[in-house]
Each structure stands twice: as C-alpha cells, then as structure tokens.
Structure 1
Amino acid sequence: MAKHRAINTFKPAKKAPAKVPSQLLDLQIESLADDGRGVARYNNKVVFVGGALPGEHVKAKISRSHKRFDEAELVEINTQSPDRVTPICAIYDQCGGCQLQHLDYQAQLNYKLARLSKLIDGGESPVFSPAIIQASATRYRHRARLAYANGELGFKAKSSHSIVGVEQCPLLEDAINTALAKSRDSLARYFGHKASGEVVFSADRDGRVGIRIQKDGFVDVKRSEQLAQNIAAPAFLHSVVGTKGPSWRGAGASLSYQVTDSLTLRYQPGDFTQVNTAINRQTIAQCIAWLAPEADELIADYFCGLGNFSLALAQSGVQVMGFDAGAGMIECANQQALEKSLPATYFCADLFDPDAITIPVGCRKVVLDPPRAGAKTLCEQLAACQAINCIVYISCGPASLARDLAILKQAGFKVDDAAMADMFPHTHHVESAVFLRR
C-alpha cells in the first residue's frame, strides 16, 4: 500500500536581505584573495574589493553583505600601489575574462608563486621555492570560447551572464583575432537576434582556425552550409552542434599543435587542449626531466586526453599506458601513437570511479593531469599501491591539489620539486606541476 505523507503548507517568512551600508568606507588593502580581489578589514569583518591592490588605501562601497564577509566596489584610490599598471585591454573593466591586468606582470607571477608555495609548504618551513614557467603574457591563447546572445558576440561580463562585445582580445593568438574580425558579420547573420549559443575558435601551428558552434535549439543544415562558404580561409567552419536534433559537420579538417621540437599532435576543434602551447611545451619538458624515463620502463598517464604528456614520454622509448573518460580522444590518441610508431596504448576509464581505475603491473611512475575537481579517488589508490614511487601531478585547481597532496603525503610521498606554470597570464588562475617521491 502506498504511504501518504502529510504536506506542511506552512511557509516561513522570507529572510530580510542584509542591509548594505550606503556610505563610502576607507579601507587599507592588506593582500590579494585567491580570486584576485583586494582584501581589507572593516569592523572586524573581511571585505573583498575588486580592482584594489595590496598597500593601497581606497574608498569603496559595499555591494553585497554576507554573514562572514562583505563585497565592495572600488570607488577611489587614495594611495596607489607601485605595482599598479594601465590595463592592456579597453574593455577590461567590463569583461569577466581577466582579473589582474591592473597588476604589473612580475607582481602577478609573485602572487601566484606565493599561493603555490603556501599550498605546498602546508604551514611548515619552506624547503624550496617552486620554479616559474612563463612565456609571453599576451597573444598566448590558441583556443577561445565566445558567447552569442541578443545580437552580441563576446565574453561574459564580470559577475554577470551579460555579454561584452569583443572586437579583438590582446590575449588571443593573432590568427584567432583575424578569424574573429573576418567572421563576425557572418556569424551575426547566422545567429540573428533571437538565437544564442557559443562559438569556439581553435588555432593550429600553421595559422589555420577551426570554428565550432554550439547552438541552442535546432541546427539549420542549409544555413550552416552557407555559413561555411562565407568563412574566409585560412579559417573554416568545423561543425555546428545543437541542443536539439542532428548536427552539421564540415569536411572534418583537423588542427595540430606542437608538443616537443619533433612532435605535433592532431586534434579537432572542441577537443581539450591546453590554451597556452608555449607553457604546455615547457611543462611537458619539466615533467620528462623529473620522471627521467629509462628504456623498458612503464609509465601510466591518467587524465591523458589526446596523449599530451604520454606521447612525448613515449618518444624517449618508454612504454606508456594512458587512461581517460573521453572515448573520442582515446581513439585519437591510439591512432596517433600507431601513426607515429610510439609505444603508447590508451584505454577509456572513468577515473572518478574506484572500480574503473587500473594501475598497470610493473608501473612505478605516474603522471596525472586532472580537471579542476582534482583526483581524490585516483590519489587514494596510488597512495595504497606501494609499487608507485614517483608522481608528477599537473594541477589547475589549487584547492583540489592541496587535498590530494595531503592524501599522498600521508602515504609517505614527499614533494621533491614544483613549478608554477603561468598558463593564464592576467587572470587569477594558477596552473602548477608538482613532483613527488616515496
């Protein structure tokens, strides 16, 4: 017999919103938060001030009040930091893509390095200072994801779903900026004023740019074919994917990016690749130097994607086994290993499922490059496997890295070396590479 539950129709009164002080506050900025905002204190409460820098005395207005902290808008700078610079982008104040353009680039590096050092030290006396992997601070992105809505193509605004129109971006490779300029009108006609979606630009080492559209609703095949004809070479329309119905796909031309001096990887627009190829190459070189691969060794690569790290490792003659959940990328990685006659084999596996994780017999060294969520389940299994004695952990999420390092340290691993890789200059994002030994 079905059980019936009494329904409580009592509705508690809505909590009144916290009162936001209307007066300007005089604040002394003490430091930068992890999201790049200035940190101050007022009436024993932390206040986050966007656009403010350490050492500055500012006037700010509370925009949101919370129980433990407040958020404030910068109104006036009374005492300016010597590290303050003029942003390189005209729409920096509106666009949500960057958070640190007002901070001198060397100071940006120092800020990110300090965050990584604190994370690794865990409150203990520092044993070493992580290295800095850096390249150009502009024109570094070989991939860009722009949004389209209400007749506007651009990036999301700060703390908003609104779109800031972008003509050119100083962080994009020249080939993407050129493709954006030449295709903007054609894309606007294709979407119109009612449709919405995303447009992904992906460039390769030869200057070609693949354009992939992710569109809300159905895909009009004839209009997609017309758009493909209107895209000026060397850019091309790769595909149009809709949330409903079938998709449109072009000739399937692939792109490529440089991994080492003698190795390039093929990829399709929409595949995951590191946005900064110069930093990626240096990080791969550092990974190989740490692992010191020897002939006939077996190295496992988790969250391997297209084989970004493992195919480079296989070039040195070691056997590599790669694991990732992306079936399409695993298939592509196996094809490229076969084409290049490299000793690497790839397998599809959900690395967040403990029953799906495999640690190959005879494997002593591991590289892992998880998403921002980290690799808690995998690290627990690596910690329990006594055969594993060397790990290179590539991280794009400081919080998850701290959690996973604690798991590995409890199992006897120690951080032997580390590097802060500035994959995203002018943003608060910290990419890092950590070498652990047991």
Structure 2
Amino acid sequence: MTDTTDIKKGDAPAPDEWLHVESLDLDAQGVAHKSDGMVVFIEGALPFEEVRLNVHRRKNNWEQGTVTAIRRESSQRVRPGCPHFGLHTGACGGCKMQHLDAAAQVAVKQRALEDNLWHLGKVRAQNVLRPLEGPAWHYRYRARLSVRHVVKKGTVLIGFHERKSRYLADMTVCPVLPRQISDMLVPLRALIGSMDARDTCPQIELACGDAPGTTRLGARALVLRHLAPLSDADIGRLRAFAAAHEGVQWWLQSKGPETVKLLDGDVMPLSYELPAFGVTMPFKPTDFTQVNPHINRALVGRALRLLDVQPDERVIDWFCGLGNFTLPLATRAREVLGIEGSDTLVARATDNYQRNRPAGAVRGALAPTRFVARNLFEMTPAMLVADGAADKWLVDPPREGAFALAKALADLHQETEPHADNWTPPRRIVYVSCNPSTLARDAGLLVHQAGYRCTFAGVVNMFPHTAHVESIAVFDRE
C-alpha cells in the first residue's frame, strides 16, 4: 500500500532547501527534485526558478506543496491578467497558467503533446507544426457558470470554483470571457439575488454567436437551470435584464438538456461564421461548439490545408458534430459523409447543410453530403467497410478519443485476404484532438498496427491560460 499523508495547515516543517524547478506539468505545477531524489510538485513555481515551498501532501515517492519564496525568478513569469487568479485563499480555479508568458504556455503544451506521443504511443511526428495561437483574453464564447446564493455572505456568487475547492470563487470579472459577458457578472449576481428562485438556480450556461455577416460577438444566450418553476415575477425580472443588456436571450432548463426552451421567441438566432469557406453555422445554446471561435476558424483552415482534399475525392468526417468541418470539406470534395453519435446533432448538421447548400458569394454549391448517426465507440471492421472507401478522413473525437475507429482500421490492415468490395483505407488522416493521451494511444495503433506514419503534429492553443491541450496530427499511409 502506498503511504499517503495530507499535511494539515501549520504542520509542515520549515523549509530547509532551495529547489531548482526543472519543468512544468499539465497542472501548471513546477517539477523539482530534492537532494535525496524525492520528486516535488510545486504550485506557483515556473521552470528554471529557485524556490522554497510549503509541503501540504506527501507520498512515499513524491511531495506536493505551494511556493513560498523565489530566489531566482523566471524571465517568463508575468503579472496575471485577472485579480482572481493566484494561490491566495478564494482564488479562482478556472485558469492555471496566467503567471506564465502566453508563448511559454504554448511551448509547455507542445512538449506535453510530444511527450505523450512518445511515452504512450511510441510515436514521433516527422514534422512539428507551428502552434496555432489567437487572442489570449476575451476568447471564451462558451462557459458553464455555477450559481450559489450564499446566505452567510448575503450575496449570490456566479462563476467558476475556487482552486481545488467545491466552493465558488467570489468573481466580479473574468478576462477570458468576452468583455460584454465579464461586465455582466455583477449585474447577474444582483439579478439572481433579487429573484424568488435565488436558492433553486444552480447554473447558467453561456453560449455566444457571431453578429450576422461578421465574426464579432453577436447573440448571447444564457441558459438558466432552475430546479423549481419560476414565478411570474421572476420571469419579468429575466425579461427586464435581457432588455437592459444588448444581445442577451434567456433560455430555461427545468430538467435535462431536452427541456431547454427559449423564454421569448423574437430573438437573434445563434450562429457562427466560417468566412474562408462562405459557411454560416446555426446552433442551439446546448449544442457542442468550440469554446474559442477565433481559434476554431484557424483550426478548420489548417485542417483542410493539411488534408489537401481534391475535387475528385470522397471524404469521411468522423465525430462530425453539427458539421464544423463537414461543410467546409463539402466546398472542396466530390462527396462527404459525416458520422456522429448524436441523433440531435445529425439532424442539426443536416439542416445546416441544407441552409448552406446553394452557392455563396465566395464558393460554389456544396458537394453531395449526408450525415448518419452511429455509436463510434463500438466501431467494427465490418461497419467500417459498410461505410465505403474514402480517400481521406477527418477525425475530431471527444476526450475519450477514437480507439474503436483506429482499432477497426488496424484490424482491417492486418487481414490477409483482400476485401470483396474493394474497400481501401484512406491515404491520409487528419486527427484533431482535445486530449494528448488518447491521441497518443490512437496514434500508436495507427502507426504500429494500421500502416501509417505520423507526418505532422502540433498544438492548438484553444484555451489560453489553462492546462487544456488541443492538437492536430496528420497520418499518411505507408
């Protein structure tokens, strides 16, 4: 059994050693070694700094603590851009890296990607892609904000949880949210505090769209989760708030996602633009869309350039969602198939295709495209063959990755008999990942068992100041 000790406040021994910080892990903890070889994880420390710490947790082969003094400071240490970030009591836990220069954050994530590919998948990319970067602040167009009426404080809190805590941070601003949303945090607190339902509204989900014909902030949907029916007076308060704040529309959620409904019908529909492809993507506030629209536009462009789709090629978009990559692919390919696990998203993607199908100002009519719903976590070789051969694949799975898909492809590669229907594997796969460990696992299958080589890989800084690593990799058939 591993010996574990959680050290209570005041119980830690006085520091007796300056430690040299060697690297940063994905929890934004500095990693160092004591003179006896013990590994130490240090919150608030950065690579190449010399620090002391207060240890608050011990195991038999590592310790964890918080920096208390810095003798040599990193040149990459910067002043955090948010007053709620830090190691102090009550600090917000939404961001982990605001004390590190934005470019250095990207370098940490690139190293994490390369380390995962090698240590978990035994794969090294032949070429490292330049990181995709965008605005470091006011980028987050989607967020799930917790709500709590704190009777002892006589106030309502709205935002993210405190660092390593179940309590909500007392936030008045959030510089990663759009400025107009950050400015609404205090008015939202006052609104909920004035409501009869202040104790039964645990969450507000935020989803922002683009203004029509632009990539600027447009409609702002606020989905209010309420555990009890709202009074007429509360409905009136919500309507007054929307009238006082441009672009705000209220949606109500009484139970599961299927109960989400618009409070008032005469509002601007939510959508975002992909101007490079002449595509507009309508969506509902609970649909999955990328958090960072600036990076999403750049990511779609890079993915299509890497896939290099030709007019005579058939392409499959796996985990296609509402068509974020599928519709741009349809501006390039002969035929596109989008496959998704959610019937709701398949219906939304089909509708988006029909809306965008006529020729636009910057493109011709979209290629023939269809969408199907399928459990992509239970893929088999037979199901893969049934979908037909495609020249190229775009794969964009959730955090769980695309193991079943990669395994089915590997199994087909290792079969000795040719397929009766002349099915052939794709020549190129572009894999967009939001989890470097599952990407590495799937890359190991593709490279070592399915006959591919990893020709490109690089990070996509979708979530600046957080430890989240988004990336993109290219696999070419040997």
After TM superposition, the score normalised by the length of structure 2 is 0.82
Q: 1:340: how far off? A: 1.6
Query: 2: distance between equivalents of 1:244 and 1:337?
Result: 24
Alignment partner, residue 345 of structure 1: 370
1:74-111 CA-partner distances (Å, limit 9, x unpaired): 21212211111110100002111111110111211221
Q: What secondary structure, in the 3-state scheme, does the structure 2 residue paired with 1:165 have?
A: coil
Matched residue, 1:24: 14
Unpaired segments ≥5 residues, structure 2: 150-155, 212-217, 358-365, 413-423
The answer to whether structure 1 residue 225 and structure 2 residue 235 are counterparts is yes
Distance (whole Å) between structure 1 residues aligned to residue 356 and residue 430 of structure 2: 25
Tell me if the contact between 2:314 and 2:333 (Cα under 8 Å) persists in the aligned partners.
Answer: no
Distance 1:224 1:331, change over 3 A: farther
What's the Cα RMSD here?
Answer: 2.6
Equivalent residue of 2:128, what SS? coil
Which residue of the partner structure matches residue 437 of structure 2? 399
Give the match for residue 362 of structure 2: none
1:182–1:312 distance in 2 versus 1, CA, 3 Å: farther
Maintained 8 Å contact 2:97/2:465:
yes
Could you tell me whether the CA contact under 8 Å between 2:56 and 2:65 is conserved in 1? yes
Q: Aligned to 2:72, which of 79, 89, 101?
A: 79
Q: Percent identity?
A: 29
Which residue of 318, 322, 326 corresponds with 1:302? Answer: 318
Correspondence for 2:346 among 323, 330, 341: 330
Which deviates further from its counterpart, 34-43 or 419-428? Answer: 34-43
Q: Deviations over 1:415-438 (max 9, x none)?
A: 111221110111111110101111
Q: State which drifts further: 85-94 or 318-327.
A: 318-327
Moved more, 222-231 or 423-432: 222-231
Point out the more displaced range, 63-72 or 272-281.
Answer: 63-72
Q: TM-score, normalised by structure 1?
A: 0.89
1:235 equivalent in alignment to 2:243: no
Q: Is the 8 A contact 1:382 1:388 kept in 2?
A: no
Matches within 5 A, 1:188-199: 188-190=193-195, 194-199=199-204
Give the CA deviation at 1:184.
3.4
1:164 pairs with one of 163, 169, 187:
169
1:57 maps to 50
SS of 2:106 mapped into structure 1 = helix
Offset, 1:67: 3.4
After alignment, is 396-405 or 233-242 more displaced? Answer: 233-242
Report if aligned partners of 2:76, 2:101 keep a CA contact under 8 Å in 1. yes
The alignment status of 1:412 with 2:451, answered yes or no, reads yes
Determine the C-alpha separation between the residues in 2 that align with 1:417 and 1:390.
11
Structure 1 partner of 2:140: 141
| In the alignment, structure 1 residue 267 sits paired with structure 2 residue 277 | no
Counterpart-to-counterpart distance in 1, 2:260 and 2:109: 41
Counterpart of 1:142, as a letter, is: Y
* Structure possessing the higher relative contact order (Cα contacts under 8 Å, 6 or more residues apart): 2
Structure 1 CA distance for aligned equivalents of residues 411 and 203 of structure 2: 43
- Gap change, CA 1:364 and 1:223, over 3 Å in 2: farther
Q: Cα distance 1:15–1:427, how it changes in 2: closer, same or farther (>3 A)? A: closer
CA distance in 1, matches of 2:170, 2:460: 30
Q: Give 5+ residue unaligned stretches, structure 1.
A: 1-13
Cα distance in 1 for partners of 2:395, 2:258 equals 36
Q: Which residue does 2:32 correspond to in 1?
A: 40
The CA deviation at 1:291 is 1.4
Helix, strand or coil at the partner of 1:167 = coil
Matched, 1:209 2:236: no
Letter in 1 for 2:263: G
- For 2:384 and 2:235, locate their aligned partners in 1 and report how far apart those are by CA, in whole Å: 44
For residue 173 of structure 1, what is the amino acid of its counterpart? P
Distance 1:168 1:119, change over 3 A: same
CA–CA distance in 1 between the matches of 2:250 and 2:236? 10
Q: Is the 8 A contact 2:320 2:326 kept in 1?
A: yes
CA distance in 2, matches of 1:124, 1:203: 38
Q: Is the 8 A contact 1:260 1:312 kept in 2?
A: no
Q: Secondary structure at the match of 2:250?
A: strand
Number of residue pairs matched by the alignment:
424
State the AA in 2 paired with 1:308. Answer: N
Matched, 1:284 2:304: no
Name the SS of the counterpart of 2:376 in structure 1.
coil
Q: CA deviation at 1:227?
A: 4.2
CA distance in structure 1 between the aligned counterparts of 2:337 and 2:195, rounded to whole angstroms: 43
Please state whether the residue corresponding to 2:169 is helix, strand or coil: strand
Q: Structure 1 residues 197-206 or 303-312, which shifts more?
A: 197-206
* Cα distance in 2 for residues equivalent to 1:110 and 1:414: 24
- From 419, 423, 427, the equivalent of 2:462 is 423
- The SS at the match of 1:345 is strand
Shift, 1:182, TM fit: 4.2
Q: Which moved more, 1:287-296 or 1:396-405?
A: 287-296
SS of equivalent residue, structure 1 residue 148: strand
Q: Deviations over 1:226-249 (max 9, x none)?
A: 344123231010222336996654
Matches for 1:383-398 after TM superposition, within 5 Å: 383-385=410-412, 386-398=424-436
Quote the residue 1:112 is aligned against: 109
Does the 8 Å contact 1:396/1:429 carry over to 2? yes
In 2, distance between residues paired with 1:196 and 1:144?
16
1:313-328 matches, within 5 Å, as 313-328=329-344
Residue deviations 1:377-418, cap 9 Å, x none?
A: 111113334522211110110111111100101121111112
Query: Does structure 2 conserve the Cα–Cα contact (< 8 Å) formed by 1:89 and 1:170?
Result: yes
Shift of residue 144, structure 1, vs aligned partner: 1.7
- Which of the numbers 384, 390, 394 marks the counterpart of 1:363? 390
